[in-house]
Amino acid sequence: QVQLVQSGAEVKKPGASVKVSCKASGYIFNSYAMHWVRQAPGQRLEWMGWINIGIGNTKYSQKFQGRVTLTRDTSAKTAYMEMSNLTSEDTAVYYCARDVKRTISTWGQGTLVTVSS
Amino acid sequence: QTVVTQEPSFSVSPGGTVTLTCGLSSGSVSSSHYPSWYQQTPGQPPRTLVYSTNTRSSGVPDRFSGSILGNKAALTITGAQAEDESDYYCVLYMGSGIWVFGGGTTLTVL
């Protein structure tokens, strides 16, 4: 079955960077794009961007353009989300989710990133 | 910037029917926005309920249905159960590779 397993929780200081991984299994990794979505505590879901796994091109929400980088390693069947210059407002659960026909479909379990001095 | 709107909260009686909506601050929602609906309980990732306006995900009970009502996307729960008490989110594809989530609706079943 389709499964997305994300890396563990992170604690970072303000100004630091974080890189979250999302390992895929149960499907042909190269054939589906991957979305990244975050959710701050008690807040709504927020779409961050997506990456075409096959060719590697990306699209970002304007809010995250320039501060978030989405990449993938096709040999490892893993997608990555890296965010730089963290502030306390970036404290959130970060999700990866597979795209199927323009649907944000199967979700990872989420990775909590805490930014605190 | 276009905002996706949802009712902040809704209440339904057990066995009742409720329709949650997903609109745009400017313009109408259509099938070309590929509206999808998600259910989320505290501490859990979202669960995909309905996609492409009205297609139920595998394993989703048929009491959940999606549609376009007027100028909004809609999620109808027919015969609500206690376990349906959750947050519900919609997302719309805005074109040019951009998606936007709504603010979510907290559904109470009482």
Per-residue model confidence as pLDDT tens digits over B40-88:
999 999 999 999 999 999 999 999 999 999 999 999 999 999 999 999 9
Q: What is the mean pLDDT of residues A68-85?
A: 98
Tell me the percentage of chain A whose pLDDT exceeds 90.
Answer: 99
Q: What is the mean pLDDT of residues A4-15?
A: 98
Inter-chain CB proximity A46 and B102 less than 8 Å = no
The predicted structure's pLDDT at residue B67: 98
Inter-chain CB proximity B91 and A110 less than 8 Å = no
- Token reading at B81: 């159960």
Inter-chain CB proximity A44 and B98 less than 8 Å = no
Q: What is the mean pLDDT of residues A35-40?
A: 98
How far the first Cα of chain A sits from its last, in Å, is: 40
What single DSSP character describes residue A40?
-
Tell me the percentage of chain B whose pLDDT exceeds 70.
Answer: 100
The predicted structure's pLDDT at residue B1: 76
Distance CA B28, CA B33 (A): 10
The predicted structure's pLDDT at residue B48: 96
The predicted structure's pLDDT at residue A66: 95
Locus of tokens 């066995």:
B15
Q: Tell whether A45 lies on the interface with B, counting CB pairs under 8 A.
A: yes
